[in-house]
Structure 1
Amino acid sequence: MLGLSGPGFWKGVFVSGIEQDALLVLDELLDVLVERVRSEGVELLGPGGLLSQVTKAVLGAFVG
């Protein structure tokens, strides 16, 4: 559950409990995406690649 762990270190950086929980979720998501790239042959780079799609989604979330 988010927000239940206390402050601590995540990959050598001190973070709050909520930040730590969010980063753990992000780590899990990245593991899933990397596995998909490897198992399904999804393109990682290039105009239609996964990296471009993720970048566009993140930027879009901040802009609009």
Structure 2
Amino acid sequence: MLEDLTIVSSYIEQILALPEVSIEEVIREIPEDWDVPLQDREALITYLKEQKKTFADSVYKFIKKYGNA
């Protein structure tokens, strides 16, 4: 199913290159009328920053397990 990892790798590189400040900006720009509490926004920022650290490994493990199904 997934023979060429270069496509996936290019997307992973783009995600990893995303500055943390950009993650913060996007989350802080969630519209007020969505009623997302500040505490939840901050938790989401923290979560996304942490997940970014292990993202590539998680994707490659997923591909290894399910990629040729």
Same fold, judged at TM 0.5 (above): no
Structure number with the bigger relative contact order (C-alpha 8 A, sep ≥ 6) is: 2
Please state which band the TM-score falls in when normalised by the shorter chain.
0.3 to 0.5
Q: Tell me which protein shows more helix as a share of its residues.
A: 2
Q: Which has the larger Rg?
A: 2
